[in-house]
Structure 1
Amino acid sequence: MNDHEAILRSVPLFDGIRPDEWERMLGCLGAVHRRYPAGEFILMAGQPADRVGVLLEGRAQVLREEFSGARTILTALAPGDLFAEAFACASGGGRTLPVSVLATSDCRVLLIDYRKIITSCPSACDFHARLVRNMLAVLADKNLLLNRRLRHLSKRTTREKLLSYLSEEAAAHGGGEFDIPFDRQGLADYLCVERSAMSAALSKLREEGLLETRRSHFRLLRPRDREDAELF
C-alpha cells in the first residue's frame, strides 16, 4: 500500500475510504499486485470478465483486435486509471472480456475480484456500500468519455476527426499546447483512420499554420497565434 498510496487515493473507486480502512479493505477485496513487461497482455479478450484493475505504474492501452488482425485502441491508460470495470459490471463477472489490455511500457497493476466489491464479507465491512456508490459514479464518467469519443468518430473526414480530438485535448489541458498519450499509429487506431491519411491531414494542418507537432507533442494555433509567431 505505501509504495502507491498516493495513486490509490486518487482512484475514484476508493473515494471516501478512511486511512484506517485501507489495509482491511484491500485484504477483503483479495487485491493482488502484478508486474507486466512492455508488450505483455495484462488482460486478454476471452478471459473471464471478473477482475477490475488499477494501473499503478507505466502505460497501457485497452484495445480490440479483429479477426482480420486490425487493431482499434479504445483508450490509453496512465497511473491511477481503472480498467475492465465496465465489462465486469455489465456481465456480473460471468462473461468473457471482448477487449484486451496491453502494457505499452513496464507496468505494475492492482487486480481486484469484482464480485468481492459488490458482496459484503462475513465480517460486515462497512466500506462495501461506498465502493458500490463509487463504482456507479465511475461508470457514469466512463459513459461520458465514450460519448466524447463517439463525437470524434462521427466526423466525416480524417481532418475533422483530428481537429475534434485535438481541440478537446487542448481544452482539457487548459491551453493550446499539450501531449497526447498516443504515437502516430496509436492515434490513427484511436480515431479509426488510416495512418497514411492521418499523416497527410497533419501535414496539411501544419502547412496551413494551424498546428505544430513533434511526436506526441501538439500546439494548436489560432490566427492571432500565427501572427505573433511571425514577429519572432
Structure 2
Amino acid sequence: MNTSFLANTLLFRGITEDEISVLLTCLGAQERTFQKDEVIFRAGSSISEIGLIESGSVNIVVNFYWGNSNIFGHVSKGQIFGENYAAIPGKDLICDVISCEETRVLFLNMQKLLTPCQRACAFHTRLIKNMLRISAQKNLNLSRRMMHTASYSLRERLLSYLSEQALEAGSSHFTIPYNRQQLADYLAVNRSSMSKELSKMQEDGLITYRKNEFTLKGGYA
C-alpha cells in the first residue's frame, strides 16, 4: 500500500508513513480494483467499511422505483465514501456507489477506526479528528447542492453551480467533474433542457464552454 500517497490525503493528514502502516493493520485495510461502471456498494445492503479512493473516481447514484436515477455526488482520488452508513451498523444504503473509470479502493473497517486501541495512540486520535472534519465538510457540500437546486429557474441553478466552481478554482476558467448527463442529474434537471439553456447562456455572453471546461463572463467570475 502506498503510504506516501495516503499521508497526503485528508483522512491521514498529520500522520507519518510509519504510523499509517501501523494503522492500516489495526483497521483491517484491504485494497480492491473495480472496472468502469462496476458497483462497489449496492443500495439495500449494509456496510461496515469505508472506501478511500487511491486512483480513479466514483459516483453516488440514487435509483428510483420507476427506473430513473440521479447522481447525488462524485468522489475523487484521495477522498472517502460510505462513512455515514458504515458508522451505523445494520443501516441499509439508499444509493449505489459506482466506479466512473477503473478505480482502486482502500477499504477500512469503520468501527475499528472510531475505536482507539488500548494503547490509545495519538495518531489514532488524529485519524478520528480527521474523519470528523471530513464529515463536517461533506455536510457543507450537501448544503451547497441544496442551494444550487433551490431555485425553480434552470438558469439560476446553472449559474449557482458554475459560480461556486469558479470560486473553488480561483479562476473564471475551470473544469467540472461531470459530463452533461451527470451535471443534469446533479442539478435535478432535464439534460436536453439544460443543454439548450447552456447554449442560451453562451449566446447571452454569460459563459463559454467546451465539453466540461467553462469560462464565466459578465461579472459571474
TM-score (norm 2): 0.93
C-alpha change, 1:16 and 1:58, in structure 2 (3 Å) is same
User: Cα offset for 1:101?
Assistant: 0.9
Residue type of the partner of 2:194? Answer: M
* SS class of match (2:21): helix
1:164 aligned residue = 160
Cα pair 1:152 1:161 within 8 Å, conserved: yes
Following the alignment from structure 1 to structure 2, what is the Cα–Cα distance between the partners of residues 182 and 97? Answer: 23
Equivalent residue in structure 2 for 1:48, among 33, 46, 49: 46
1:5 aligned residue = 4
2:191 aligned residue = 195
User: Cα offset for 1:140?
Assistant: 0.9
Deviates further, 189-198 or 132-141: 132-141
C-alpha change, 1:51 and 1:223, in structure 2 (3 Å) is closer
Following the alignment from structure 1 to structure 2, what is the Cα–Cα distance between the partners of residues 212 and 53? Answer: 36
* 2:23 equivalent to 1:25: yes
User: Cα offset for 1:129?
Assistant: 2.0
More helix by share: 1
Provide structure 2 residue ranges, at least 5 long, that are not aligned to the other structure.
Answer: none
C-alpha change, 1:201 and 1:76, in structure 2 (3 Å) is same
Following the alignment from structure 1 to structure 2, what is the Cα–Cα distance between the partners of residues 10 and 143? Answer: 22
Provide structure 1 residue ranges, at least 5 long, that are not aligned to the other structure.
Answer: 226-232
Following the alignment from structure 1 to structure 2, what is the Cα–Cα distance between the partners of residues 223 and 190? Answer: 24
2:143 aligned residue = 147
C-alpha change, 1:224 and 1:27, in structure 2 (3 Å) is closer
Following the alignment from structure 1 to structure 2, what is the Cα–Cα distance between the partners of residues 96 and 5? Answer: 34
C-alpha change, 1:79 and 1:223, in structure 2 (3 Å) is closer
Equivalent residue in structure 2 for 1:205, among 191, 201, 207: 201
Identity of aligned residues (%): 40
Cα pair 1:32 1:110 within 8 Å, conserved: yes
1:117 aligned residue = 113
2:74 aligned residue = 76
Residue type of the partner of 1:103? Answer: S
TM-score (norm 1): 0.89
2:216 aligned residue = 220
Post-superposition CA distance 1:116-170 (Å, at most 9, x none): 1012335654433222222211111111111111100101211110000001101
User: Cα offset for 1:41?
Assistant: 0.9
Following the alignment from structure 2 to structure 1, what is the Cα–Cα distance between the partners of residues 92 and 188? Answer: 24
Q: How many pairs are equivalent?
A: 221
1:230 aligned residue = none
C-alpha change, 1:164 and 1:224, in structure 2 (3 Å) is closer
Cα pair 1:170 1:176 within 8 Å, conserved: yes
C-alpha change, 1:129 and 1:205, in structure 2 (3 Å) is same
* SS class of match (2:106): strand
